[in-house]
């Protein structure tokens, strides 16, 4: 799949920090059941790589990717684990160069026009605006659309169920990223019905 297909598969990409590896598969099932197939498993916890492996193997219909990929070694590791895409919080030259030799697409985080330029120089035109609300949110995306009308974004950072619809109306937004689909208390309590309900609400954001 190309990065635009990956991000367009659902209205929201849940940012998942797996604290307990035993919840990973059930959590992924609950999200996919609710109509959210594209999953970003972050490397913020020690279980990131293992969670990618398990979900890739056991959750049919999941489009499993890695988040918080910050260097070439991590990019290689998540590809080896079975991730079909990688998302970074930012972009630098070594990671951009490594993406040329990767078998999976890199969707890098950007916060400025200069970083958009860097991505484009490396042939990357599908990006994550991060941290979206901090760097201007919808106003920033509207401003970037002028000179970079062909670039598409997944804004992430501070976005909620309530604010997501306005982002999704923008012509350069494919989806939004968010953590609200996986509240810690629901995951800890293994309340998968709540996760599926939140996923259905998020899925309904795109008609």
pLDDT tens readout for residues 43-94: 999 999 999 999 999 999 999 999 999 999 999 999 999 999 999 999 999 9
Is residue 184 within 8 A of residue 178, CB to CB? The reply is no
Catalytic residue selected from 53, 56, 79, 128 = 128
The rounded distance, in Å, linking the Cα atoms of 110 and 103 is: 22
> In this predicted structure, what is the pLDDT of residue 206?
84
Task: Name the residue among 84, 118, 115, 121 with its Cα closest to residue 102.
Answer: 84
> In this predicted structure, what is the pLDDT of residue 116?
98
Note the pLDDT tens digit of each residue in 178-198: 999 999 999 999 999 999 999
Note the pLDDT tens digit of each residue in 85-135: 999 999 999 999 999 999 999 999 999 999 999 999 999 999 999 999 999
Average pLDDT over residues 5-16: 97
Catalytic residue selected from 40, 53, 79, 201 = 40
The rounded distance, in Å, linking the Cα atoms of 177 and 189 is: 23
Residue 207, pLDDT > 80, answer no
Examine the residue annotation and report whether 128 is marked as an active-site residue of this protein: yes
Q: Given pLDDT bands bounded at 50, 70 and 90, which one contains residue 29? A: very high
């Amino acid at each position: 799949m190309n990065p635009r297909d990956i991000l367009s598969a659902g209205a929201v990409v849940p940012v998942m920090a797996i604290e307990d590896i035993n919840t990973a598969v059930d959590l992924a099932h609950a999200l996919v059941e609710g109509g959210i197939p594209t999953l970003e498993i972050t490397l913020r916890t020690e279980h990131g790589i293992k969670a990618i492996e398990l979900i890739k193997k056991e959750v049919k219909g999941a489009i499993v990717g890695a988040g918080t990929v910050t260097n070439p070694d991590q990019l290689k590791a998540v590809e080896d684990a079975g991730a079909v895409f990688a998302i970074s919080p930012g972009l630098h030259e070594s990671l951009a160069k490594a993406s040329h030799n990767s078998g999976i697409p890199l969707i890098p985080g950007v916060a400025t026009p200069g970083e958009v330029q860097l991505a484009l120089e490396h042939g990357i035109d599908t990006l994550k605006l991060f941290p979206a609300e901090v760097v201007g949110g919808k106003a920033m995306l509207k401003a970037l659309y002028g000179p970079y009308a062909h670039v598409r974004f997944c804004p992430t950072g501070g976005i909620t169920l309530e604010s997501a619809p306005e982002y999704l109306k923008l012509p350069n937004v494919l989806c939004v990223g968010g953590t609200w689909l996986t509240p810690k208390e629901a995951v800890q309590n293994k309340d998968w019905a709540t996760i599926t309900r939140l996923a259905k609400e998020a899925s309904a954001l795109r008609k």
